[in-house]
Amino acid sequence: MDAEGSMSSQSREDTEVTLYDTTLRDGMQQEGMSVSVDEKVRIALKLDELGIHYIEGGFPSSNPKEVAFFKAMEGEALCTAELVAFGMTRRRGVKAGNDPGLRVLAETFPGIVALVGKTWSLHLREVLHVGPDENLRIVADSVGFLVGQGKRVFYDAEHFFDAYADDAVYALRCVRAAADAGAALVCLCDTNGATLPADVGRVVAEVRADVEVPLGIHCHNDAECAVAGSLAAVAAGATQVQGTINGYGERCGNANLVSIVPALQLKMGRPVLPPGQLERLTEAAYFVADICNMEVSAHQPYVGRTAFAHKGGLHVAAVESVPQTFEHIDPAQVGNEQRIVISELSGKGAVVRKAQELGIAIDGEDERVGRILRHLKDREHKGYQYEAADGSFDLFLRSELGEREPLFRLESFRVIVEKREDGRAVIEATIKVHVGGERIISTAEGNGPVNALDAALRQAITRKYPHLADIELVNFKVRILDEDKGTGAVTRVLLDASDGEDVWGATGVSENIIEASWEALVDSIEYGMVHSQENEAAGLGPRRGKERCDVSPSDGGADGAARDGGSR
């Protein structure tokens, strides 16, 4: 960000409500949650595309993956968001300038740093083993050092609400220590997630009246109050809301930004996203969920599949006549749709929009739309999901509209896995395909069945399609859809492929994991070829940086823990 951009962002904390996403750091502390560096980049770009103001990328002094992520993001020009690096206050007995963690933050490229420190006397006694005055010096030294290094510091007052209940005077001294040292904002953290919304609002109002520094709110969901507490904090004067997509996070999770954003924008009159971007909320929620190999709960407010679903009787008659009788908002406002469970009429708009993106003139009255929708629902019933499989959905729609030309025709494939006495496993794949009227047999080895199939297929068709050399698989995920059926369960495979610039997803579904993988593999390669050829024909380069963005930067909207994880 240039100096002008920094000044504009600096003023946000004073006057607007900003969104601070910590999915890539705090969200990753959820049990079973892990993503690669490339996946973190994809999530960050999706959050930026949505219009999030601040993206906390990770804790660079904790592990090499975080460092690699920040390195990868140096080449990305964000449209609306600013990247934030997370860290902690200096260690006891170490000067701030000599603290390894603070040195890493000072040398990491983001201009904003989120710094977490202790506030609660219980932690001072039992965790840090320092006195109250020494803790204030730790806070002031750490914030002051990073400010002196040219960083803008958001100070996270860990366990603030527990600390305030225990000793309000000292908790306020911690806030002032950070503010006086130059913190641009102090975020009040309900780290244990135990504070009720009324108490959150009361405490934020009292702190707001006592200090001039802008305040943020960071709630965990242990008492199922994180969203309500965050909204109460904004009503009381907080101007930054921290949370994660779909509420991911340790224990019971963090405040769910997917619920907070529409509540702020539609119910509290706080326009936190750029115009038109709220409609992309559902898409973003499912995109992040699929990248994280998680399911979005069907009952999740605003974006869940059943959030605006109605089944039978008076409810259906009422919503068909006057939707607001049983819908608190128009679902289209958040990119969702009304569903009449016994009907096939929902979802036409999505089909029409996708067709138009492909340059196919079609409207909701076209008889093809109803047929496509029925086939799509049939596929969804079988286990297909397309939220993060944009390549497969594109090809599905082309097939339905008669616009798809397969790269080849499969005659058969065979995969042999040989386990040898010395412990080695050798995987060999043989495929028989017809390409341009020619029958080709190809055999290749790989480090796994999918890798071997990929190698054999490329070997067979690369002569006719040299673009394949630019396309490679970058991710592979497997999800068992009906676990109670054991080895007979249906499997969904999600593959990500890249041409070195763009990344797209493809999916396959089958009771046979190899067959599901093959289907996803073929879609990933075929879509990559179509995508590359269309870009060439249109004279377009890959979408990167600012060219990727189709929204204008928002000028409105928002703004140490234990060393083993940086909890807030």
Query: Is the whole-model pTM more than 0.85?
Result: no
- 225: tokens are 């109050």
Amino acid occupying residue 177: A
Backbone φ and ψ of 426, nearest 5°: -115, 125
Cross-sheet strand order for the sheet of 409-419: 409-419, 425-435, 438-446
Residue 320: its pLDDT value, please? 63
pLDDT tier for residue 371 given thresholds of 50, 70 and 90:
confident
What is the CATH topology of the domain spanning 3-274? TIM Barrel (3.20.20)
Give the residues across from 188 on adjacent strands.
Answer: 157, 217
Residue 555 has pLDDT above 50, yes or no: no
CA atoms lying within 13 Å on the CB side of residue 112 = 26
Comparing 40-44, 147-151, 401-405, the range with the smallest average pLDDT is 401-405
Mention every residue, 6+ apart, whose C-beta is less than 8 A from residue 59: 25, 66, 85, 86, 87, 565, 566
Residue 143: its pLDDT value, please? 98
Q: How many Å apart are CA 319 and CA 308, to the nearest integer? A: 10
Q: What angle do CA 295, 380, 261 make, to 5 degrees?
A: 45
Cα 406 to the center of its chain, rounded Å: 32
Cα dist. 428→431, 446, 452, 516 in Å?
Answer: 10, 7, 6, 18
pLDDT tier for residue 466 given thresholds of 50, 70 and 90:
confident
Euclidean distance between the first and final Cα of the chain, in Å? 27
Helix (H) or strand (E) holding 116: strand 112-117
Backbone φ and ψ of 69, nearest 5°: -65, -50
Q: How many Å apart are CA 85 and CA 153, to the nearest integer? A: 10
Three-class secondary structure of residue 347 per DSSP: coil
Cα dist. 243→28, 227, 255, 295, 298 in Å?
Answer: 12, 9, 5, 18, 20
**What average pLDDT does this structure show over 350-364?**
71
Residue 548: its pLDDT value, please? 54
Residue 350: its pLDDT value, please? 60
**Long-range contacts (CB closer than 8 Å, 24 or more residues apart) made by 394-401:** 394/354, 394/358, 394/527, 394/530, 395/523, 395/526, 395/527, 395/530, 397/351, 397/354, 397/355, 397/358, 397/372, 398/358, 398/530, 400/368, 400/371, 400/372, 400/375, 401/355, 401/360, 401/362, 401/368, 401/372
Neighbours of 286 (CB within 10 A): 22
Residue 347: its pLDDT value, please? 58
Mention every residue, 6+ apart, whose C-beta is less than 8 A from residue 193: 219, 220, 221, 222, 223, 225, 226, 251, 252
pLDDT tier for residue 1 given thresholds of 50, 70 and 90:
very low
Q: How many Å apart are CA 302 and CA 331, to the nearest integer? A: 7
**What average pLDDT does this structure show over 545-554?**
46
Neighbours of 467 (CB within 10 A): 16
Higher pLDDT, 534 or 213: 213
pLDDT digits (tens, 9 = 90+) for 88-143: 999 988 999 999 999 999 999 999 999 999 999 998 999 888 999 999 999 999 99
Share of residues in the chain with pLDDT > 70 (%): 85
Cα dist. 400→351, 397, 516 in Å?
Answer: 11, 5, 20
Residue 344 has pLDDT above 50, yes or no: no
Residue 391 near residue 523, CB atoms below 8 Å? yes
Closest CA to 196 of 171, 168, 232: 232
Q: How many Å apart are CA 350 and CA 52, to the nearest integer? A: 24
Residue 345 has pLDDT above 60, yes or no: no
Three-class secondary structure of residue 309 per DSSP: strand
pLDDT digits (tens, 9 = 90+) for 427-459: 999 999 999 889 999 999 998 999 999 999 999
- 54: tokens are 């601040």
Residue 236: its pLDDT value, please? 97
Domain ranges of the chain: 3-274
- 164: tokens are 């305030």
Residue 13: its pLDDT value, please? 60
Residue 468: its pLDDT value, please? 84
